[in-house]
Amino acid sequence: MCGIVGAVAERNITAILLEGLKRLEYRGYDSAGVAVFTNDEKLERMRRPGKVSELERALDAEPLLGRLGIAHTRWATHGAPCERNAHPHFSGDLAVVHNGIIENYEALREQLKALGYVFTSDTDTEVIAHLLSHKLKDLADLTVALKATVKELHGAYGLAVISAKQPDRLVAARSGSPLVIGLGLGENFLASDQLALRQVTDRFMYLEEGDIAEIRRDSVQIWDLNGKDVEREVVQYRDGAEAADKGEFRHYMLKEIHEQPAVVQRTLEGRLSQNQVLVQAFGPQAAELFAKVRNVQIVACGTSYHAGMVARYWLEELAGIPCQVEVASEFRYRKVVVQPDSLFVTISQSGETADTLAALRNAKELGFLASLAICNVGISSLVRESDLTLLTQAGREIGVASTKAFTTQLVGLLLLTLSLGQVRGTLGEGVEAKLVEELRRLPARLGEALAMDNTVEKIAELFAEKNHTLFLGRGAQFPVAMEGALKLKEISYIHAEAYPAGELKHGPLALVDNDMPVVTVAPNNELLEKLKSNLQEVRARGGQLIVFADEKAGMTNGEGTHVVHMPHIHDILSPILYTIPLQLLSYYVAVLKGTDVDQPRNLAKSVTVE
């Protein structure tokens, strides 16, 4: 979500801040700003609504040059995305950027107004600037004043602050929103994600919950939650800064859709023996813990939640383990009854999803057997705080609408299902060997599905003028239909709803007419005949059907029915394969509608606020 970049150096830092913001921008933002302690010793800022390029243009016209600065890309939670609400926020001699939400901002705002502070924005963030300014009246030192300020903040924050009165440092605080310090030679940096700083350093120090940091050109000092002076481990990345480029593709999303055979292959690598899943892929204590598991609770958000829903079908069918799946924002605030010996599984692309992380922290108090994270980022809060981990190897995902992260999560969850079944001896005869063989073939099958790109592009034309669609699936294809509907909503802004096909006649059939395309995924399984009957119900009401069907399903084009044949695949793996045409469909519909495919309106990647 929001991005923070900060720098204290001997050279001009504005270009570094701007480059950092650009590197974070793929996550989708609505405004950006920078504050610099300029060479003529003034604190100045530039803020612009819209993309970072708007800010860049403004800075080209009116450069701000200095050796100390902070910058921010905003995804508004409090107050419209406009210049006045963009960060940095000022109070007297200081500038603040903030990721997160201050929950007690209304009360603080009233107190500060009564003290004479004038608010110029509608944000929750501005209270931090004025409160800090107020504390500085008694506690002259910026770091000491920040320590006193955060004690009064409820909610979540990643904060960076500079002051014209103490221009030798950048101060930062973390609680519920990630921050990392980038270490240079005679210069140091701060960001909400190391990606922002890879152009200037490969050495990082991650702040932990409750940490306060004072960052100077040649030193870094950190205090923990209890005010104790602490050292944090230095992590060095040797892989070189990951390049973000679209290659031959028009959008990152299309590139990422086409990367799926390769990243699924990578996610499988080192995790399969000849005919078994290697259980230790989940961590050294995995086998011992898995043997005790009698129930699985999955918690996630958005696309990751859909992956969890597919896993429920697998865990119960293959491993015979009861499984519940819930969205994190509900789970975290509900009184939960935990079944004995339950494994708590979280799924998140970034590992910083605020609701999922909070759910994990709650779960630790609730008596789960252990926690396991399926995550795409090795150095993330979710991974750090879980007992077991399976890292998906999707690589950096830039398109806000998740694609390759989802399919690699599914692969990870199938490996989990087989591992639990293997350790507990609940898999049917020969099931694991057969599925291991099928998993090895999966990248090639995904490649075949991607070869249907042009066919799907033509089908997309049926949607360009529509306002509503239905997605249907049965069994483990129901969550696939949900994911297909979510993709279409996210990037084409067409209203899309998913239903289990059997539910159609219990209500949604009333919506079906010639203007409501109905998309269905139809692998060749025991539910096929039932699904065909549901599709007849749609046709009988004049609905247009678009069916992605197994080549052996015996379905053909007809009046109002468009059938796209899919390569045959083992039924268990079909949710992974059938996701591909639905991703392509939403992509091509969005392109026809001319939307911002990689950064759809109102959305952001890595949802670090509640």
Segment near ligand HGA (CB under 6 A); pick from 119-127, 456-464, 478-486, 544-552:
119-127
Least distance (Å) between residue 518 CB and ligand HGA: 36
* 3-state DSSP of 101-114: EECCHHHHHHHHHH
DSSP for residue 127: H
Q: Looking at 12, 14, 38, 99, which residue binds ligand HGA (CB under 6 A)?
A: 99
* Interatomic CA distance for residues 175 and 99, integer angstroms: 10
Q: Which is nearer to ligand HGA, 126 or 397 (CB)?
A: 126
**DSSP per residue over 393-444, as a string?**
------SSS-SHHHHHHHHHHHHHHHHHHHHHT-SPTTHHHHHHHHHHHHHH
Q: Catalytic: which of 2, 301, 323, 375? A: 2
Q: What is the largest CA-CA distance in the chain?
A: 79
The rounded Cα 399 to chain-centroid distance in angstroms is 10
Q: Which is nearer to ligand HGA, 1 or 531 (CB)?
A: 1
Q: Looking at 74, 134, 251, 258, which residue binds ligand HGA (CB under 6 A)?
A: 74
What is the total residue count of the chain? 610
Least distance (Å) between residue 179 CB and ligand HGA: 12
- CA neighbor of 161 nearest in space, from 105, 89, 108, 111: 89
Q: Which helix (H) or strand (E) holds 325?
A: strand 323-327
Q: Which residue is nearest to ligand HGA (CB)?
A: 1
Q: Which is nearer to ligand HGA, 2 or 162 (CB)?
A: 2
Pairing label, strands 188-191, 180-183: antiparallel
* Interatomic CA distance for residues 552 and 504, integer angstroms: 25
Residue 101 as a binder of ligand HGA (CB under 6 A): the answer is yes
Q: Looking at 26, 75, 314, 331, which residue binds ligand HGA (CB under 6 A)?
A: 75
What separation in angstroms does the CA of 295 have from each of 165, 313, 568?
A: 57, 13, 32
Q: Cβ(143)–Cβ(13) under 8 Å?
A: no
Least distance (Å) between residue 129 CB and ligand HGA: 12
Least distance (Å) between residue 404 CB and ligand HGA: 23
Least distance (Å) between residue 400 CB and ligand HGA: 13
Q: Looking at 27, 45, 98, 198, which residue binds ligand HGA (CB under 6 A)?
A: 98
Q: Which is nearer to ligand HGA, 29 or 578 (CB)?
A: 29
Least distance (Å) between residue 80 CB and ligand HGA: 10
Residue 481 as a binder of ligand HGA (CB under 6 A): the answer is no
Residue 605 as a binder of ligand HGA (CB under 6 A): the answer is no
Segment near ligand HGA (CB under 6 A); pick from 58-66, 118-126, 129-137, 501-509:
118-126
Residue 90 as a binder of ligand HGA (CB under 6 A): the answer is no
Residue 609 as a binder of ligand HGA (CB under 6 A): the answer is yes
* Interatomic CA distance for residues 188 and 255, integer angstroms: 34
Segment near ligand HGA (CB under 6 A); pick from 123-131, 380-388, 536-544, 578-586:
123-131
Residue 95 as a binder of ligand HGA (CB under 6 A): the answer is no
Least distance (Å) between residue 72 CB and ligand HGA: 8
- CA neighbor of 294 nearest in space, from 320, 267, 269, 264: 320
**DSSP per residue over 457-493, as a string?**
HHHHTTTTT-SEEEEEE-TTHHHHHHHHHHHHHHHH-
Residue 192 as a binder of ligand HGA (CB under 6 A): the answer is no
Q: What is the side-by-side order of every strand in the sheet holding 212-216?
A: 89-91, 94-102, 155-163, 169-175, 212-216, 220-223, 229-230
Whether 2 is catalytic: yes
Q: Looking at 54, 65, 77, 562, which residue binds ligand HGA (CB under 6 A)?
A: 77
Least distance (Å) between residue 192 CB and ligand HGA: 9
Could you tell me the two tokens for 558? 């007809």
Q: Looking at 5, 8, 21, 76, which residue binds ligand HGA (CB under 6 A)?
A: 76
Q: Which is nearer to ligand HGA, 99 or 599 (CB)?
A: 99
Q: Looking at 2, 13, 191, 569, which residue binds ligand HGA (CB under 6 A)?
A: 2
* Interatomic CA distance for residues 31 and 58, integer angstroms: 13
Residue 109 as a binder of ligand HGA (CB under 6 A): the answer is no
Residue 1 as a binder of ligand HGA (CB under 6 A): the answer is yes
Q: Catalytic: which of 22, 404, 487, 605? A: 605
Q: Looking at 44, 124, 259, 432, which residue binds ligand HGA (CB under 6 A)?
A: 124
Least distance (Å) between residue 26 CB and ligand HGA: 14
The residues, any chain, with a CB within 8 Å of residue 508's CB and separated by 6 or more, are 470, 497, 499
3-state secondary structure of 222: strand
What separation in angstroms does the CA of 323 have from each of 298, 311, 317, 337?
A: 7, 9, 10, 13
Q: Which is nearer to ligand HGA, 104 or 324 (CB)?
A: 104
Least distance (Å) between residue 157 CB and ligand HGA: 8
Could you tell me the two tokens for 493? 């802004």
Whether 301 is catalytic: no
Q: Cβ(209)–Cβ(174) under 8 Å?
A: yes
Segment near ligand HGA (CB under 6 A); pick from 117-125, 166-174, 376-384, 447-455:
117-125
Contact positions vs ligand HGA (CB under 6 A): 1-2, 74-79, 98-101, 123-125, 608-609
Q: Which residues are annotated as catalytic?
A: 2, 605
